[in-house]
């Protein structure tokens, strides 16, 4: 054979082997292949407080308490708790629980698992959740006492998210790299990790000795596919059974996929415009009110959520508003879409004829779409936004440095039904520092006092304080609430799932269809 | 002796190149806005204590020369540090991904050569004919389609509609890896093969009119012998150059194809690491890229020596 022929024959041979081995062999129905847009970065919430990582963490690690389907704290590894005084909690540990390597769970493990988030050596991403924690100590064999610096009812809810129990023996020598692919993690949860790599993904096997209800899926594989279109094709071809990383704006592309069902449920998120109040034309409250009236929130909401979400009236995620106010709308004034009123407000300001403002935005993702819609709305009242695209990483870095802030589109997601998780991010003076999330720079000693009082408030007092803060925000307009989006998941019809806003362990909520 | 001299000269140049590369990369990364805090804080609200602890742990307040010297000192001892994003040693982060990129690069290069060289020769042999026109047009088309668009087309056609190939990933066994990498390799190789076709065709056309080919034909040698032993060998130099450069490019820059096929290779690692200011990873990758380019170029030069006696004699004298 000549070299050319050999080469051609090799190529054909390769293609043939490829074809015959191609196509996915259907795995048994109690094995689920799940995809995330980015790989889990760490199996420890201290260094992987992001959705792909917590997705795996919640399957492997148990928390001391959990949230029930209405978002209220409920027993989990703690069978219950008492409050010796309003600022302390005494948790009683479930008996006979073992880590998946067989070692028993102790009160010392549980206490250490919370204490480590306050250790500067750990530099935990969950540290801001536990700033009110003063002391954590084991009491006897089966109790843990947590002393707070003052009463903070939200402590239980944030614990349900971040107080994951790991063995002290493993966690203590690894302050910086617990949960990394090299060190791994160990939990008492419904699944154990049999493989964790940032490239080939995560393989979870059911923990057959789990103390709680046995999950229906025996094995779960988690893969990551960065390109949204490839992800969609992989779900369509059946290679991937499910994903929660679909953009609701593209929901139409997913709802028509054969053999795939889409699930939508309220997400704990809020998307809004931030207006930097410190300098320039935005320092004028009439300008900010004009912007609030000029932006057509309904149109932007339709554009961005494709019907799976809705315009936001107040600056809190919908599930948090429901937790505070029930089904009644929050008693907070709303800046309705009204260009005439917007012009009136602008006429009252120091810039009656409008002005021009540079508006940087991230060229990837949704930011550009929203900012273009906002710019079009504002142009109608004479405000010109000069849109300046920047690479997403660079844009985010600038924004977190609070460098040249102006009009920004922000979308944030939260974990608990507690307004105190959100409001200090928005209007406290501490968050107005670099790396904080108060991009408006709005804040005062008086507002900080209100936030401070909200930390310890309960019942009706809490409701009133939240209303008070929301009214202040609506009146001063450091932010314009835009919309909230449903969470979405796509799932092969071989499976069924019952998901809600407070679903803590996603994989435990999925089971083979018809069982 | 000449060979040793060549190697020595190359080694010196390589060290200089890598030094300049690493300084520039480090400096540029520090000069661009933001730092590794975004990754370390996880894009979440943080406490001042955490932020201070991070600045101290990662020496973020030290001036550039101090930080660079610290990195260089460790790197010279073979310690490339720990990834800020994944908290794994950089060496294992790269070792995890190198096989994916290397097999993709090799597969794509094999396809490029297997298709590009014969097609280019064929086009030159049938100059001006239908076949030549077809091949040239095909090459133009392949050159014009961006690899990410071709990736999606291939995925939709061969993975979703026909179901012949998997949509994403690399597979575990060797056979699986071949299946998984076939579509990405085609996507990567298409434009490159087109490049080789044009190179090969141009080089072979130059030769077609040369005296030694006419003489070979006059001696009554069979056409196949004329083209493979005489034309191919003489046209090999430019193709070798292009092939080597393509290999180096594949090993460092197949990021679009990696992204489209959900492959975790070096390209996507580099893009991610630059965005996250994961300096240890970026530094190691840039050095690796530099080494690859140097080594590939050296191999090309050595291949010249083997293929072309004229170069061999030039080097010896």
pTM of the shown model = 0.86
- B97 neighbourhood in chain A, CB within 8 Å: 199
Residue B58 is assigned to a structural domain of this protein:
yes
| A513: closest CA of chain B, how far (Å) | 24
Confidence of residue A28 (pLDDT cuts 50, 70, 90): low
Q: Which of A371, A372, A289 is nearest to A337 (CA)?
A: A289
DSSP letters, B40-108, are HHTTS---HHHHHHHHHHTTTTS-HHHHHHHHHHHHHTT---B-TTT-SBHHHHHHHHHHHHHHHHHHH
Most confident of A335-344, A396-405, B80-89: A335-344
Query: Could you tell me if B168 and B56 lie in one domain?
Result: no
Q: Quick count: other Cβ atoms within 10 Å of Cβ B119?
A: 23
Determine, for residues B35 and A7 on separate chains, whether the beta-carbon distance falls below 8 Å.
Answer: no
- B184 neighbourhood in chain A, CB within 8 Å: none
DSSP conformation class of A122 = T
Q: Is the pLDDT of residue A17 over 50?
A: no
Structural domain for B163, as ranges:
93-316
Of B52, B163, B259, the CB nearest to A23: B163
Determine, for residues B46 and A182 on separate chains, whether the beta-carbon distance falls below 8 Å.
Answer: no
Query: Could you tell me if B50 and B135 lie in one domain?
Result: no
Q: What is the pLDDT of residue A348?
A: 93
- A398 neighbourhood in chain B, CB within 8 Å: 33-34
- Using one digit for the tens of pLDDT, what is the confidence trace for B134-168? 888 988 888 888 888 888 888 888 888 888 888 88
Confidence of residue A29 (pLDDT cuts 50, 70, 90): confident
Confidence of residue B315 (pLDDT cuts 50, 70, 90): low
Q: Is the pLDDT of residue A57 over 90?
A: yes
Of A177, A236, A433, the CB nearest to B87: A177
Of A41, A127, A231, the CB nearest to B46: A127
Confidence of residue A137 (pLDDT cuts 50, 70, 90): very high
Query: Could you tell me if B117 and B12 lie in one domain?
Result: no
Confidence of residue A22 (pLDDT cuts 50, 70, 90): very low
Confidence of residue A13 (pLDDT cuts 50, 70, 90): very low
Q: Is the pLDDT of residue A272 over 90?
A: yes
% of residues, chain B, pLDDT over 90: 5
Q: Which of A412, A332, A416 is nearest to A152 (CA)?
A: A416
Of B57, B82, B228, the CB nearest to A2: B228
Q: Is the pLDDT of residue A217 over 90?
A: yes
- Residue at a domain's end among B76, B110, B140: B76
Q: Is the pLDDT of residue A125 over 90?
A: yes
Q: Is the pLDDT of residue B216 over 80?
A: yes
Query: Could you tell me if B132 and B72 lie in one domain?
Result: no
Query: Could you tell me if B133 and B62 lie in one domain?
Result: no
Among chain A residues, the shortest Cα distance to B85 is held by A41
Of B117, B168, B274, the CB nearest to A239: B168
Task: Determine how β-strand A143-148 pairs with β-strand A133-139.
Answer: antiparallel
Determine, for residues B44 and A177 on separate chains, whether the beta-carbon distance falls below 8 Å.
Answer: no
3-state secondary structure of A304: helix
Query: Could you tell me if B44 and B162 lie in one domain?
Result: no
- Residue at a domain's end among B76, B104, B119: B76
B208 or B122, which is more confident = B122
Rounded to an integer, the average pLDDT of B256-285 is 87
- Using one digit for the tens of pLDDT, what is the confidence trace for A159-195? 999 999 999 999 999 999 999 999 999 999 999 999 9
**Residue located via tokens 């998210």:** A161
A-B CB pairs within 8 A amount to 187
Rounded to an integer, the average pLDDT of B266-271 is 86
Determine, for residues B160 and A3 on separate chains, whether the beta-carbon distance falls below 8 Å.
Answer: no
A336 or B255, which is more confident = A336
Confidence of residue A267 (pLDDT cuts 50, 70, 90): very high
- B166 neighbourhood in chain A, CB within 8 Å: 22-24, 237, 239
Q: Is the pLDDT of residue B316 over 80?
A: no
Determine, for residues B35 and A237 on separate chains, whether the beta-carbon distance falls below 8 Å.
Answer: no
Determine, for residues A237 and B118 on separate chains, whether the beta-carbon distance falls below 8 Å.
Answer: no
Q: Is the pLDDT of residue A58 over 70?
A: yes
Check which CATH number belongs to the domain holding B100 and give it.
1.10.3720.10
Confidence of residue A374 (pLDDT cuts 50, 70, 90): very high
Gap between the Cα atoms of A239 and A512, Å rounded: 16
CA B70, B71, B72, B78 torsion: positive or negative?
Answer: positive
Gap between the Cα atoms of A354 and A286, Å rounded: 12
Of B53, B179, B228, the CB nearest to A18: B179
Residue B82 is assigned to a structural domain of this protein:
no
Query: Could you tell me if B14 and B58 lie in one domain?
Result: yes
The mean of the pLDDT values for chain B is: 85
Residue B88 is assigned to a structural domain of this protein:
no
Q: What is the pLDDT of residue A14?
A: 42
Task: Report the domain count for chain B.
Answer: 2
Gap between the Cα atoms of A39 and A51, Å rounded: 10
| B75: closest CA of chain A, how far (Å) | 21
| Cα→Cα distances A178→A172, A244, B49, Å | 9, 26, 20
- Using one digit for the tens of pLDDT, what is the confidence trace for A443-493? 999 999 999 999 999 889 999 999 999 999 999 999 999 999 999 999 999
Rounded to an integer, the average pLDDT of B242-261 is 82
Query: Could you tell me if B255 and B142 lie in one domain?
Result: yes
Query: Could you tell me if B121 and B207 lie in one domain?
Result: yes
- B275 neighbourhood in chain A, CB within 8 Å: 391-393
Residue B265 is assigned to a structural domain of this protein:
yes
3-state secondary structure of B14: helix
Q: Is the pLDDT of residue A501 over 50?
A: yes
Confidence of residue A15 (pLDDT cuts 50, 70, 90): very low
- Residue at a domain's end among B50, B76, B102: B76
- Asked if A38 and A223 count as a contact pair (C-beta separation under 8 A), the reply is no
Q: What is the pLDDT of residue A392?
A: 85
Determine, for residues B262 and A401 on separate chains, whether the beta-carbon distance falls below 8 Å.
Answer: no
Q: Within A146-280, where are the H helices?
A: 154-162, 168-171, 228-237, 251-255
Q: Within A65-190, where are the H helices?
A: 107-115, 154-162, 168-171
% of residues, chain A, pLDDT over 90: 81
- B118 neighbourhood in chain A, CB within 8 Å: 4, 7-8
Residues B50-83 as b or e (16 or more Cβ within 10 Å = b): bbebbbeebeeeeeeeebbeebeeebeeeebbbb
Tokens representing residue A275 in the block: 């207006």
Q: What is the pLDDT of residue B304?
A: 81
Query: Could you tell me if B233 and B144 lie in one domain?
Result: yes
Q: Which of A224, A226, A391 to mutate to test the interface with B (most CBs of B within 10 A)?
A: A226
Residue B105 is assigned to a structural domain of this protein:
yes
Most confident of A267-271, B16-20, B71-75: A267-271
| B298: closest CA of chain A, how far (Å) | 25
What is the 3-state secondary structure of A104-117?
A: ECCHHHHHHHHHHH
Q: Is the pLDDT of residue B230 over 70?
A: yes
Among chain B residues, the shortest Cα distance to A182 is held by B88
Residue B56 is assigned to a structural domain of this protein:
yes
Determine, for residues A121 and B53 on separate chains, whether the beta-carbon distance falls below 8 Å.
Answer: yes
- Using one digit for the tens of pLDDT, what is the confidence trace for B166-209? 888 787 778 888 888 889 989 888 888 888 888 888 888 877 77
- Asked if B197 and B135 count as a contact pair (C-beta separation under 8 A), the reply is yes
Q: Is the pLDDT of residue A318 over 60?
A: yes
Gap between the Cα atoms of A32 and A244, Å rounded: 13
Among chain B residues, the shortest Cα distance to A40 is held by B86
Q: Is the complex ipTM more than 0.95?
A: no
Query: Could you tell me if B135 and B16 lie in one domain?
Result: no
Determine, for residues B86 and A19 on separate chains, whether the beta-carbon distance falls below 8 Å.
Answer: no
Q: Which of A117, A199, A238 to mutate to test the interface with B (most CBs of B within 10 A)?
A: A199
Determine, for residues A125 and B46 on separate chains, whether the beta-carbon distance falls below 8 Å.
Answer: yes
Gap between the Cα atoms of A467 and A418, Å rounded: 14
Query: Could you tell me if B304 and B277 lie in one domain?
Result: yes
Q: Quick count: other Cβ atoms within 10 Å of Cβ B1?
A: 6
Of B53, B156, B262, the CB nearest to A225: B262
Residue B288 is assigned to a structural domain of this protein:
yes
Rounded to an integer, the average pLDDT of A88-96 is 95
Residue B83 is assigned to a structural domain of this protein:
no
- A181 neighbourhood in chain B, CB within 8 Å: 86, 88
Determine, for residues B88 and A2 on separate chains, whether the beta-carbon distance falls below 8 Å.
Answer: no
């Amino acid at each position: 054979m000549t070299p050319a022929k050999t080469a051609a024959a090799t190529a054909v041979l390769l293609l043939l082997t490829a074809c015959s081995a191609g196509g996915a062999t259907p795995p048994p129905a109690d094995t689920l292949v799940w995809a995330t847009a980015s790989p889990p970065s760490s199996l420890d919430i201290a260094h992987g407080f992001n959705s792909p990582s917590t997705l795996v963490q919640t399957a492997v690690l148990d928390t001391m308490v959990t949230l029930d389907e209405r978002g209220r704290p409920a027993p989990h590894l703690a069978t219950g708790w008492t409050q010796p005084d309003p600022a302390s909690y005494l948790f009683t540990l479930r008996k006979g629980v073992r880590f998946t390597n067989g070692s028993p769970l102790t009160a010392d493990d549980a206490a250490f698992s919370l204490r480590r988030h306050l250790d500067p050596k750990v530099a935990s991403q969950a540290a801001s959740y536990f700033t009110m924690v003063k002391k954590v100590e084991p009491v006897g064999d089966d109790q843990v006492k947590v002393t707070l610096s003052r009463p903070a009812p939200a402590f239980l809810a944030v614990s349900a998210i971040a107080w994951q129990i790991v063995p002290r023996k493993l966690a203590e020598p690894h302050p910086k790299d617990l949960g990394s692919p090299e060190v791994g993690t160990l939990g008492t949860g419904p699944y154990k990790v049999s493989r964790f790599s940032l490239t080939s993904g995560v393989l979870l096997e059911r923990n057959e000795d789990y103390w709680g209800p046995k999950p229906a899926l025996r094995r779960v594989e988690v893969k990551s596919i960065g390109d949204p279109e490839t992800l969609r094709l992989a779900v369509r071809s059946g290679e991937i059974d499910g994903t929660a990383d679909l953009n609701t704006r593209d929901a139409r592309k997913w709802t028509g996929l054969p053999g795939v069902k889409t699930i939508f449920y309220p997400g704990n998120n809020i998307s809004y415009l931030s207006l930097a109040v410190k300098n320039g034309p935005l320092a004028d409250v009439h300008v900010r009110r004009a912007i609030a009236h000029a932006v057509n929130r309904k149109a932007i909401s339709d554009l961005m959520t494709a019907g799976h979400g809705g315009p936001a009236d107040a600056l809190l995620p919908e599930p948090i508003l429901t937790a505070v106010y029930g089904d009644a709308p929050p008693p907070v004034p709303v800046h309705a879409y009204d260009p005439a009123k917007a012009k009136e407000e602008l006429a009252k300001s120091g810039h009656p004829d409008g002005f021009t403002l540079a508006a940087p935005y991230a060229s990837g993702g949704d930011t550009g779409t929203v900012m273009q819609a906002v710019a079009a709305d504002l142009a109608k009242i004479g405000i010109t936004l000069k849109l300046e695209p920047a690479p997403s990483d660079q844009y985010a870095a600038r924004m977190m440095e609070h460098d040249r802030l102006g009009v920004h589109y922000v979308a944030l997601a939260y974990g608990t039904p507690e307004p105190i998780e959100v409001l200090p991010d928005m209007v406290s003076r501490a968050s107005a520092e670099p790396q904080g999330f108060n991009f408006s720079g709005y804040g005062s000693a008086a507002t900080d006092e209100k936030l401070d009082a909200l930390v310890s408030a309960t019942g009706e007092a809490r409701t009133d304080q939240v209303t008070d803060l929301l009214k202040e925000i609506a009146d001063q307009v450091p932010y314009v609430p835009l919309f909230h989006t449903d969470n979405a998941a796509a799932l092969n019809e071989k499976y069924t799932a019952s998901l809600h806003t407070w679903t803590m362990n996603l994989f435990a909520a999925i089971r083979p269809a018809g069982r | 002796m000449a060979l040793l001299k060549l190697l020595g000269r190359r080694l010196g140049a390589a060290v200089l190149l890598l030094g300049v590369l690493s300084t520039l990369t480090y400096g540029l990364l520090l000069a661009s806005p933001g730092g590794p805090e975004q990754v370390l804080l996880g894009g979440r609200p943080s406490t001042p204590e955490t932020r201070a602890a991070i600045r101290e742990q990662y020496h973020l307040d030290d001036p550039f020369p101090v930080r660079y010297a610290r990195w260089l000192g460790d790197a010279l001892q073979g310690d490339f540090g720990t990834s800020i994003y994944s908290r794994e040693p950089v060496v294992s982060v790269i070792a995890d991904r190198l096989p994916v990129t290397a097999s993709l690069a090799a597969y794509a290069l094999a396809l490029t050569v297997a298709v590009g060289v014969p097609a280019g020769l064929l086009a030159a042999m049938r100059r001006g004919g239908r076949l030549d026109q077809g091949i040239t047009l095909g090459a133009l088309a392949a050159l014009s389609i961006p690899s990410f668009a071709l990736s999606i087309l291939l995925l939709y056609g061969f993975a979703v509609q026909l179901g012949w190939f998997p949509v994403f990933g690399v597979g575990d066994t060797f056979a699986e890896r071949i299946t998984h990498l076939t579509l990405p390799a085609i996507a990567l190789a298409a434009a490159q093969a087109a490049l080789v076709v044009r190179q090969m065709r141009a080089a072979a056309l130059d030769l077609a009119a040369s005296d030694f080919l006419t003489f070979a034909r006059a001696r009554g040698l069979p056409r196949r012998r004329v083209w493979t032993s005489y034309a191919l060998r003489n046209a090999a130099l430019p193709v070798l150059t292009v092939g080597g450069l393509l290999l180096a490019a594949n090993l460092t820059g197949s990021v679009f194809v990696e992204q489209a096929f959900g492959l975790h290779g070096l390209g996507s690692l580099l893009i991610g690491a630059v965005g996250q200011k994961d300096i240890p990873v970026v530094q190691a990758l840039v050095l690796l890229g530099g080494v690859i380019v140097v080594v590939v170029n050296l191999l090309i030069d050595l291949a010249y020596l083997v293929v072309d006696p004229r170069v061999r004699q030039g080097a010896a004298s």
